[in-house]
Structure 1
């Protein structure tokens, strides 16, 4: 756990919010961190059950958290605490809630019971409804040991500069292995090419630059799966910019201004939809062994919805 996360634990213990969202990359231990915060609030060890700790997860045979699960947990945290202390409701992977489940949770967040905290963990905060985000304290959870990850990356890819390594780690959300995969495929330059092709999206009604798109698909070659993944990252980072009101740390010079320029007119729903479409396209291409150039072309074109005009959005 990083020093920043430890400080956050202290702040939350001192003034527990009614709702808390922990957002950060997949695989960095957000669920475990949420348990540690819950344990501090409940005065118990994080690896023990507690009568005032209520965890909501999707059933094993389902992918989504349903409304009855949320309603049950919301009712429980309104009961008197077993030991007269705090009550905590944990919702790992909260973005898997159904619409009805999210609405049920919203009712509790609008009028949170005293001495109770709802903790949600998500990989991307943009997937949560705005009504829920607005009623919770939002905290980004830091990926652990970024300096160690940078050292590991540069050991694997000794030709990378420190600046390039940091940029790749930002795109890879702190994961050195994925950053090394990006580096092998052209890394920052490939992401720059994607941003150049997407530059027209800074204007309402803009479309991905067709000549640059064709050139990109030709240059990507066998690295097209990584290029599709980086397109997904662009959509995800734009979603974070829209959801949080500010861009994440820039992966390269000028990326923050680029994301802000698109965010001035893009809708969060369109951004999340584009992100989801590109991710599904990548998964489909892998399963069905689709043509790389066609897949990359379709992935970039999925971004066109980001700059759709109000008339196009209505249509």
Structure 2
């Protein structure tokens, strides 16, 4: 738990939502900013926290000059709090939420508002979520709680019902590509498009994927899948070779390919959306049975949910099983 540094503004594609929010006469005490990973929810929440704490906001912009803005710029504002897991991928525990409640009950040190950002909200364990309910049910005056979530369905319904839910979406493809061209000018238009496709249209996620070297990792995985189907590589060999590839990426890629297979199978597509598998997927679609494909998708989505939920899975066993089932798609008629 720490005081967070301010962000200047929300992402440009969220400007209409921002203007509608900051022109309200009154604000509810709790918000849930929901949406896909990488669309800019955290940035939006941080900008809104700055706006709430600014003593002289001008329309939808902070003044940048008041005492609160100076403290925000220095990252030392005593009335702004960030609650997040102690380690990435770990749970937010009940002790952190109890400290949050204590913070909310205190008088604002700057004599104005207090703001808490909780991210990612779905990381709260059950005890922490139940402890948060009391703060939501008994809000303190001039205190605002901003929850940020990639997976709002994992939150308790009682938490969601006590928040003003704002769903933040990705921009149109043209706007996303323009933004990426400014952020990653060293890449080509084709590379921007490939990253955006992997990121499901979420620009901030595309930047993160670039930093992870996802383009190179994906090329390695695609070649491995082709080798598997030709029996040139075994599932254990690939599971070992892919040790540096995050499980979340692998599950997302196989989900994308499976969706293409279903669309090809039903005639909804003539060529795959995933152009780096433009030879493999049509070949598979001609040979896989629809019932087999549906069973595979069910298994894949179930295990993807486990991965996203940080379940304690045996990585090697999961990958070997995934690859064996993928190869077997064409063997079951």
Q: TM-score range by the shorter chain?
A: 0.5 to 0.7
TM-score, structure 2 normalization? 0.54
Question: Following the alignment from structure 2 to structure 1, what is the Cα–Cα distance between the partners of residues 46 and 177?
Answer: 28
By how many angstroms is 1:33 displaced?
2.1
- Cα deviation 1:5-33 (Å, max 9, x = unaligned): 23433444432221111112223332232
Question: Following the alignment from structure 1 to structure 2, what is the Cα–Cα distance between the partners of residues 102 and 213?
Answer: 39
Question: Following the alignment from structure 1 to structure 2, what is the Cα–Cα distance between the partners of residues 103 and 56?
Answer: 16
Q: Which residue of 1 aligns with 2:130?
A: 103
Question: Following the alignment from structure 2 to structure 1, what is the Cα–Cα distance between the partners of residues 265 and 140?
Answer: 47
Q: Check the 8 A contact 2:98/2:131 in 1, yes or no.
A: yes
Q: Check the 8 A contact 2:11/2:44 in 1, yes or no.
A: no
SS of the aligned residue for 2:85 comes to coil
SS of the aligned residue for 1:112 comes to coil
Q: Which residue of 2 aligns with 1:276?
A: 305
- 2:190 corresponds to which of 151, 156, 160: 156
Q: Find out whether 1:192 has 2:244 as its counterpart.
A: no
Q: 1:186 to 1:78 in 2, by over 3 A?
A: closer
Q: Find out whether 1:36 has 2:43 as its counterpart.
A: no
By how many angstroms is 1:92 displaced?
1.0
Q: Check the 8 A contact 2:11/2:43 in 1, yes or no.
A: no
Q: Which residue of 2 aligns with 1:249?
A: none
Question: Following the alignment from structure 1 to structure 2, what is the Cα–Cα distance between the partners of residues 285 and 195?
Answer: 33
Higher gyration radius (CA):
2
Question: Following the alignment from structure 2 to structure 1, what is the Cα–Cα distance between the partners of residues 114 and 265?
Answer: 47
Q: Check the 8 A contact 1:285/1:295 in 2, yes or no.
A: no
SS of the aligned residue for 1:77 comes to helix
Question: Following the alignment from structure 1 to structure 2, what is the Cα–Cα distance between the partners of residues 295 and 194?
Answer: 18
TM-score, structure 1 normalization? 0.57
Give ranges in structure 1 of 5+ residues lacking alignment.
Answer: 161-165, 197-209, 218-223, 233-272, 299-315
Q: Which residue of 1 aligns with 2:152?
A: 125
Q: Which residue of 2 aligns with 1:82?
A: 109
Q: 1:150 to 1:113 in 2, by over 3 A?
A: same
Question: Following the alignment from structure 1 to structure 2, what is the Cα–Cα distance between the partners of residues 173 and 284?
Answer: 29
Q: Which residue of 2 aligns with 1:51?
A: 78
- Cα deviation 1:165-221 (Å, max 9, x = unaligned): x9x6895556667999769x758532536999xxxxxxxxxxxxx95243579xxxx
Question: Following the alignment from structure 1 to structure 2, what is the Cα–Cα distance between the partners of residues 288 and 31?
Answer: 31
Question: Following the alignment from structure 2 to structure 1, what is the Cα–Cα distance between the partners of residues 122 and 169?
Answer: 19
- 1:6 corresponds to which of 8, 11, 15: 15
Mapping of residues 18-37 of structure 1, within 5 Å: 18-37=29-48
Question: Following the alignment from structure 2 to structure 1, what is the Cα–Cα distance between the partners of residues 43 and 12?
Answer: 16
Root mean square deviation, CA, Å = 4.6
Q: Which residue of 1 aligns with 2:292?
A: 214
By how many angstroms is 1:94 displaced?
1.1
By how many angstroms is 1:56 displaced?
1.1
By how many angstroms is 1:80 displaced?
1.7
Moved more, 67-76 or 283-292: 283-292
Mapping of residues 292-303 of structure 1, within 5 Å: 292=322, 294-296=324-326
By how many angstroms is 1:141 displaced?
1.9
Question: Following the alignment from structure 2 to structure 1, what is the Cα–Cα distance between the partners of residues 306 and 89?
Answer: 21
Give ranges in structure 2 of 5+ residues lacking alignment.
Answer: 1-9, 55-67, 182-187, 219-252, 268-287, 329-333
Q: 1:39 to 1:215 in 2, by over 3 A?
A: closer
